Each structure stands twice: as C-alpha cells, then as structure tokens.
Amino acid sequence: MEVINYEIRYKLQTFTVHDKREAETGKKWRASNPLRSADDVDRFARGIYDTLDADKEHFVLLALNNKNRFIGFKLISTGSLTASLVHPREVWRAAIFLDAAAVVFVHNHPSGDPAPSPEDIDITKRLKETGDLLGIRVLDHVVLGHERFFSFNDKGLL
C-alpha cells in the first residue's frame, strides 16, 4: 500500500501597501517627500480614498519612518454611512508590521462634514495613549470631508 502525503499551503495576504498618490496638481507625490502638515496628509490621503467607496466610512493608518516619510498604509476598518469600528489592537498590529516610527490616522465622513464626533475624539485619545506606550509617535488624525478636512493636531487635540 502506497501512502500519499498531501501538503496544502495557504497564503493569506494581510497587508497591502499601495503607492497611489496624486496631488491636486496631478504631480505624483514622491515617497521621499515627508508628510509635514495636515495639508500634506489631505492631498496624500485623497489618492487612497479615491479608490474606496465614498458612501462608507473608512479608517486608514498611514505608516511613516523616523523622517516622516511614507512607508505604507493599511485600511483598518470599513464601516457604514455613519460609523467605522476601530480597535487599537488592529491599528497597532498594522503599525508594528509596517515598522512604523510614526503614524497618521485618517478617516472620512461620507456626510461631507469633517467635524469629529465624540467617538472620534475618544478613539483618538485611546490610540494616542497606546501609541505612547509602544513608542510609536501619533502625529495626527485627519478627518476628511467634502473638499475640507479636520486635523486633531492643528486643533491641539493630540
């Protein structure tokens, strides 16, 4: 009797890093350009959000190196029209996997109004606290609305 061994291997892709960043001018954003301001993040993130459903809320992590240069991103959560569930465990797992020295959080409000909700403020505080414990700098949380944005850092909320 002949014994046949079958080996089944599964390859699960858990992180996808994209480099699709077009500034409003049509010029490609260079990976060597640091993200220095909320305006930079807004222009950069709009290229990512152009590929996502506009009628849903999406929470994205932008991973940066120690010079605030983009090294990758992870779509953490896709929610409904009014909410997206975000847990620190998922956020920091992605940041650690991407070897981030710093991060910027970005999410959109399909309503077009970028004003943060009380839940947005709470999760940002929680993520900032856990980032401090891990030694990963939280530079900003930018909420995208229709042709405008809200920056937690610019408003002194970080």
At 98-150, the pLDDT tens digits run 999 999 999 999 999 999 999 999 999 999 999 999 999 999 999 999 999 99
How many other CB atoms sit within 10 Å of the CB of residue 115? Answer: 11
Cα 46 from Cα 92, distance rounded (Å)? 23
| 120/106 Cα distance (integer angstroms) | 11
Strand, coil or helix: what is 63? strand
Using the predicted structure, report yes or no on whether residue 72 has a pLDDT greater than 80.
Answer: yes
Query: In terms of residues, how long is the chain?
Result: 158
Superfamily of domain 38-151: Cytidine Deaminase, domain 2 (3.40.140.10)
pLDDT at 84 over 90: no
CA distance linking residue 64 with residue 137, whole number of Å = 9
1: pLDDT strictly greater than 70: no
What residue ranges do the domains of the chain occupy? 38-151
H/E element, 74: strand 70-78
